[in-house]
Amino acid sequence: MEQPKNNFKIVSDKKTRMLLPNALTLINICIGLSSIKFALDQKFELSIIAIIFAAIFDALDGRVARMLKGTSLVGKELDSLADLISFGVAPAFIMYFWSLNNFGKFGWLLTMIYVVCVALRLARFNVSSSSEPSWRDEFFEGIPSPAGGILILMPLILSLSEINIVKVNYDVVVPTFFILISFFLISKIPTFAFKKISIPRRMTIFALFGIVLFFGLLLIYTFKVLLVCGLIYICLIPIGYYNYKKINKQKTLDGENNDNEDPEDIL
């Protein structure tokens, strides 16, 4: 009589599905820490590139977890810790080593304020309760931490882009950016989430061409492209706010709105 096979497994199938997204999150942490090391070595170009890669891994881990049905509470907490390092501590230290250290104690104060605001942003997300899908899912509450981490580097990106259209006083621009981005992180200003972008089938080929063109330009004109993307995102902040208010007003008139609901606070 044939004996049943005993399939030996170190971990269950469910835990196996959690390994990949959590591994991506841990890679995100390593990249964020490496960007600080690059900044210590005065290799600011590599620091910025490392932050961009950290943002890519941050975008991947959540999507991979949902695709594999490997989401977990540990993964959620780990993702927030990774965001604090890669988009809070790392960009703040990069800018401190590049410019803020020239301001003495005031520069260190701005560094701490930014990191604290990122921590508050992530803490608010962790305690927020998930709600049923609605039109509010298309908006963030404030700017997400990855966007904040890249925007805070904009003065450095501008410097590395070698665009000399106007003379920039970085002693004014850098502290101003730190104050403004810190405010937007903890604010409740609705911003676009870009989570659900539908592309018509007939436009797929053009979308693929656009993606290839974008990454090609990013490889050749890295800092110029990053600068343009950052400026576009900044311009989209007021557009997102007015778009949210417009939809909110229309839903209120239609009786489909709940005044107690806020835009989804997701990172």
Quick: pLDDT tens for 213-224. Answer: 999 998 999 999
Domain boundaries, position 169: 14-194+201-253
Q: Is residue 64 part of a domain?
A: yes
Q: Which pLDDT score, from 0 to 100, does residue 235 have?
A: 92
Q: Is residue 61 part of a domain?
A: yes
Q: What are phi and psi of 141, to 5 degrees?
A: -100, 105
Q: Which pLDDT score, from 0 to 100, does residue 95 have?
A: 95
Quick: pLDDT tens for 116-173. Answer: 999 999 888 777 655 555 556 678 888 989 999 999 999 999 999 888 777 888 899 9
pLDDT along the chain (267 residues), means of 10: 52 64 88 94 94 90 74 78 93 94 93 94 74 65 90 93 82 93 91 75 85 91 93 91 85 65 47
Q: Which pLDDT score, from 0 to 100, does residue 130 have?
A: 55
Q: Which pLDDT score, from 0 to 100, does residue 18 have?
A: 72
Question: How would you class 133 by CB atoms within 10 Å of its CB: exposed for 0-12, middle for 13-18, buried for 19 or more?
Answer: exposed
Work out how many domains the chain is built from and give that number: 1
pTM exceeds 0.75: yes
Q: Kindly state the tokens that stand for 234.
A: 């900044």
Rg (CA), the chain: 21
Q: Kindly state the tokens that stand for 23.
A: 């591994």
Q: Is residue 267 part of a domain?
A: no
Q: Which pLDDT score, from 0 to 100, does residue 179 have?
A: 94
Q: Is residue 259 part of a domain?
A: no
Q: Is residue 6 part of a domain?
A: no
Return the CATH number at 221.
1.20.120
DSSP state of 102: G
Q: Which pLDDT score, from 0 to 100, does residue 16 have?
A: 66
Q: Which pLDDT score, from 0 to 100, does residue 35 have?
A: 95
Q: Which pLDDT score, from 0 to 100, does residue 112 have?
A: 95
Name the residue type at position 197. Answer: I
Q: Is residue 107 part of a domain?
A: yes
Q: Which pLDDT score, from 0 to 100, does residue 135 have?
A: 55
Report the alpha-carbon distance of residue 47 to residue 223 in Å, rounded. 12
Q: Is residue 54 part of a domain?
A: yes
Q: Is residue 7 part of a domain?
A: no
Q: What are phi and psi of 155, to 5 degrees?
A: -60, -40
